[in-house]
Every structure is written in structure tokens, then in C-alpha cells.
Structure 1
Amino acid sequence: MTLTAHPGAAEPATALRRRPGLRGLRALGAQGPLFTAAVLVLAALVLVAVFAPLIAPYDPEGMDLSASLVGTSGDHLLGTDQSGRDVLSRLLHGARTGLLGPLLVVAVSTVLGTALGVIAGWRGGWADTLLSRSMDLVFAIPGLLVAIMLVAVVGSGMTGPVVAMAVAYTPYVGRLVRGIARQEKARPYLEAYRVQGWSGWTICVRHLLPNIAPTVLAQSAMNFGYALMDLAALSFLGFGVQPPTADWGAMINEGQSAIQQGAMLPALAPSFAIVLAVVAFGIVGEGIADRIAKRER
């Protein structure tokens, strides 16, 4: 007797292989069109930042005083600034500094805040008290003020503001992680691992951190938008990225005088880019937080 495979026997395996990708697309669509649009906007901003040297029509620092404050045209889609530099090219290149700075701030503050929060929440006692009071002390000092003082010491540029903002944002992540870690520590499944003789380090790395990661990701997405605004404000004030390097905050500062001459785009274009990025990060962060809240109900 010959056994013949059913014609649809291979379909379940194929479905299993495709399921992760389909699940991700369904999860993206389930958050609503606004969340999907925000994700697409952020993806586009990242691509622009990565490929800016390839897609920018002009050198962002190339000056042509004879073309100062030229309006929109086929050669300059967003016009030029006071120095005759193409606004579109500077806007595209400004995405690199505009996103890189907040990325460094969020990466450093998330790693430090998560480590401090887990230690404080898991260990408790004097470690919790010491770390909590230290974070309260950092909270009491405005991050922008710390950045300005640090710039006075190390000089203008991206380094000082990024370090200051990373320190300022660490307590936000640390407090959040501390609270979640204390809640998770009281759950029976973690106590079961401790009874089995697992070390606290192993439990935290293999079980506690994966469980709090989605919440930290949501907070980090929102922090990204806040950090972008803070760093842009510092560049606007002259403490961040310095001209002639293209940066959204510095472009707004440079475009102030152009507004008085009737040219709006040199300042309006980077302002719109900042608002768009901040709103998109906020929507993504809120969407992730809502998904976590629905899962826990």
C-alpha cells in the first residue's frame, strides 16, 4: 500500500514560516492608522538621515551669496538661506544631527536608568534609598541648565549637550524601571526561581528585563521626542551644533533674520521637521504603551 501525501500537507509549514511577519503586520495595523503613519514617518526620517549625502541636491555648506534668499524654484525646491545655501539640502543633512543626538541621549539614559532601576527595585534596602535619593537630586537640576554649564566647560558642540541630557533623562527611566521591578519581584513566578536556587543576576537578565523591556521601549520612544526638542533648543541658543554644520535647531536660529526679509522657509522648514518628528515619536510611544496596557488587562 502506497501512502500519498495530502495536497495541502505542505501548507501548514509554509503558514508557520510566514506567520511571524504577518503577525507583525497585523500588530502594526491593529494600532490604528495614526500609529502606522507615525511609524512610516519615522522610517522615512531614518532613511533620509542615512542617505542624505546621496539624495541632497547640493552641498549643505556650499555658499552662493548671489543666490541669497532665492524663493522656491526648480533648482531650489525650498529656496535658499541668507548665505545662498540650499534649504532642502541642509534640511536633509540636518536630519543626521537632529536624530543622532537624541539617539545617543536615549541609548545612554535607557541603559543607565534601566541598570539603576533594576538594582534599586531588586535589591531594596540601602541600595534603593541611595539610588532613589540620587535620582531625586538629578531631578532637582534642570537638564538644560546642566547642558549650558557643561558647554561652558567643554565648549560648544554635540558632546556637552548630549552628555548633560543623558544624565538628565536617566532618572526618568530609572524611576519607571524601579517601580516595575518592585512589582515584578513580588510575583510568584520570580519567587519560584529564587526557591530553585537561581541567582538574582540570572533571574533579572533572563526574566525580569525581558518582561519590562516593552514598557521601557515605550518610555524611550517618548524620551526621544523630548530629547530632540531639548537638543534643538540648545542648538537654537548657540550651545549645540555650530554653523556651518546643518542642524535643525541652528537652522531656525539662522532663519530668524530671513523672516524679517519676507523669507519664511529657512526657519519654517526645520521647525516643521522638528514638530513632525516629535509628534511621530510621541504617537509611537503612546501606541506601545496602550498595547502594553491592553495586554495586561
Structure 2
Amino acid sequence: MTESAHTSDRPVAAAQPLPGRRSRRARVWRVLRKAPPTAWFGLIVIGLYLFVAVGAPWLAPYPESELVGGAFEPWGGQFLLGTDQLGRDMLSRLIYGARNTVGIAFLTTMLSFLLGGGLGLMAAISGGWLDQVLGRAVDVLMSIPQLIFALVLLSILGSSIVNLIVVIAVLDSTRVFRLSRSVAQGVVVMDYVEAARLRGEKLPWIMRREILPNIMPPLVAEFGLRFCFVFLTISALSFLGLGIKPPTADWGSMVRDNAALITYGDVTPLLPAGAIALLTVAVNFVVDWFLHKTSGLRE
């Protein structure tokens, strides 16, 4: 019998995961097993919110803006959490509010970090007049209360979703600029950064390969904190009528629209407020744990 016949009868080995990938998963699981209960609580809550936001069209019993009953229907029966002032199902709007409020807050935070973090790294690396110009511009923006400035700009530009994201991202990027510039200044003086400059590496390469990996822990922690502030700012603007416009479901505007029920002892307006507070607490729990893990401190 030929060698080819022998080899054709051999069973084909099943594809195995790459060793590096297995070790990475094991390392992540070891870190998560040692996480405190508060961190686990935060991770579970964040995962639940993400599940609700992604699955909103399948989880909500009614469409987002459909009038399905009378105004302020009581809890129970056809409407598990009652209806709002127009007769829209509160449970459905809470579920869709997770997608709208959390999604817009996440996009806004991402944009603020791309803008503020990039400019902060440029200022720290370049120094000189560029650092001075960017620093003074940030000082001017930070001298004006953020919520008041956002109200003025949105009153002028209009409170569309695009304007809301851009305005809050620009105003919030000043805080990101300060942090990224501060932590990057401690790295740009290192020998390996100077060696990269002497090799003729360009500014984007130095930012991406030499500086950014060494300042990621504080930036990731700051991302969680800034997300909370942006999330609360968008909810506050919606409560004041200059945030996400109806009929789009938003937790801030839902509190405002149903606030009159509190005078009758109805806790319905507290549901979207509680959803805002719960997510804020959960994110802060995870950020605190992450800061502890990256600080090098032992239990």
C-alpha cells in the first residue's frame, strides 16, 4: 500500500484555538475571578444595559412612539408600567431610551476622546507655540460653565442629535485634553521617545506606538468617568427641553414629561431617573476597580 493511501485514512485533526488566544482568555478570566463584588455588579449591569439597547426592537412590547392607550394609564394589565402623558407605553419607551440615551452618550464620549486626546498628545509632543495656543483655547472654554455654554450653543444651532453630539463632545474634550497632555508629558521625555525622534519617525507614529500604549490605563478610566458626565449632561439637557427631541425616547425627557405624577404619589417618573442613576453607579464601580488594578497596589 502506498504512503498516500495511508495518509488519506488518517483522521483530520479538529481545528484548535490559537495558543495565544487561549492564554489571553485565561488571563482575562483570572483577572475577573479576583474582581470585587462591586466590579461584578457594575459589569453585570452594563452588560444588561447593552443587551437591552441592542435588542430594543425585539424586547419592547410596543413601538417607540405609538399611542397605544389613554394618558397616564395605571400599571398592570396591558401596560406593565402604565402609559405616559400621550398614551405611549412606558416600558417600551424605557427600553428604547436605553438605546438612544446610552448610544448617543457613547458616541459623544468617543468623539470627545478622539478630539481632546489627539490634541493633548500633539501639544505634549510638539510643545512650544502649539502647546500654548491649544492650552489657552482650552482654558477659555473651561472658564465657562459647561451646561450653560451647551444651552446657549444648542439654542443658537438647534438641538438636533448631530448638533447635540458635536457641541457636548467639543466642550467635554477640554477635560480630556488636560488629562492626556498631562500624562503624555511624563512619557515624551523618555529615552525611547527621543530615540524614535532621532530615527526620523513621524508624529502620528510616535503618538500611536510609543506614547499611547503607555498612557492607556488613565485614559480608559477617564473614558468611563467622562461617559457618566456626558450621559448626565445629555439627560439634563433633555429634561430642560434642548436635548434629544421627541418623539425619540429619552430618559431625561421622560422624567420631565411625567413629573406631574409625583404629586399624586405615582413613582413612574422615578423609573427613567433610576435607570440613569443605576448605570452611573455601575460604570463608576467598574472604573474604580480598573484604576485599582492598573495602579499596581495590592489588596
Give the letter aligned to residue 188 of structure 2.
Answer: K
Distance in 2 (alpha carbons) for counterparts of 1:152 and 1:201: 37
Go from structure 1 to structure 2 and tell me whether the alpha carbon gap of 1:14 and 1:50 turns closer, same or farther (over 3 Å shift): closer
Higher mean C-alpha displacement, 129-138 vs 139-148: 139-148
* Structure-2 residue corresponding to 1:8: none
Distance in 2 (alpha carbons) for counterparts of 1:17 and 1:109: 32
* Structure-1 residue corresponding to 2:8: none
The superposition leaves residues 133-155 of structure 1 with CA deviations (integer Å, 9 ceiling, x where unpaired) of 11111101222222212222232
Q: Is 1:28 the equivalent of 2:35?
A: no
What are the residue-to-residue correspondences of 1:89-238 with 2, within 5 Å?
89-238=92-241
Q: Is 1:239 the equivalent of 2:231?
A: no
RMSD (Å), alpha carbons: 2.2
Go from structure 1 to structure 2 and tell me whether the alpha carbon gap of 1:200 and 1:237 turns closer, same or farther (over 3 Å shift): closer
Go from structure 1 to structure 2 and tell me whether the alpha carbon gap of 1:155 and 1:30 turns closer, same or farther (over 3 Å shift): same
The superposition leaves residues 24-60 of structure 1 with CA deviations (integer Å, 9 ceiling, x where unpaired) of 1222233312112211211211121111011101123
User: 2:295 pairs with 269, 293, 297, which one?
Assistant: 293
Give the letter aligned to residue 32 of structure 1.
Answer: P
Give the letter aligned to residue 276 of structure 2.
Answer: I
DSSP-derived class of the 2:296 partner? helix
Higher mean C-alpha displacement, 222-231 vs 140-149: 140-149
Give the letter aligned to residue 285 of structure 2.
Answer: I
Q: Percent identity?
A: 35
Stretches of structure 2 that go unaligned for 5 or more consecutive residues are: 1-16
DSSP-derived class of the 1:241 partner? coil
* Structure-2 residue corresponding to 1:3: none
Contact 2:56–2:95 under 8 Å retained in 1:
yes
Distance in 2 (alpha carbons) for counterparts of 1:57 and 1:219: 36
Higher mean C-alpha displacement, 129-138 vs 141-150: 141-150
Give the letter aligned to residue 271 of structure 2.
Answer: A
Q: CA deviation at 1:62?
A: 1.9
Distance in 2 (alpha carbons) for counterparts of 1:273 and 1:60: 17
- Give the number of equivalent residue pairs: 283
TM-score scaled by structure 2?
0.87
* Structure-2 residue corresponding to 1:44: 48
Distance in 2 (alpha carbons) for counterparts of 1:89 and 1:83: 14
Go from structure 1 to structure 2 and tell me whether the alpha carbon gap of 1:47 and 1:65 turns closer, same or farther (over 3 Å shift): closer
Give the letter aligned to residue 107 of structure 1.
Answer: M
Go from structure 1 to structure 2 and tell me whether the alpha carbon gap of 1:201 and 1:247 turns closer, same or farther (over 3 Å shift): closer
Q: CA deviation at 1:228?
A: 0.5
Distance in 2 (alpha carbons) for counterparts of 1:251 and 1:259: 13
The superposition leaves residues 221-257 of structure 1 with CA deviations (integer Å, 9 ceiling, x where unpaired) of 1100110100000000111112222110000001111
User: 2:82 pairs with 79, 82, 85, which one?
Assistant: 79
Contact 1:142–1:168 under 8 Å retained in 2:
no
Contact 1:156–1:242 under 8 Å retained in 2:
yes
* Structure-1 residue corresponding to 2:270: 268
Contact 1:64–1:83 under 8 Å retained in 2:
no
Higher mean C-alpha displacement, 246-255 vs 188-197: 188-197
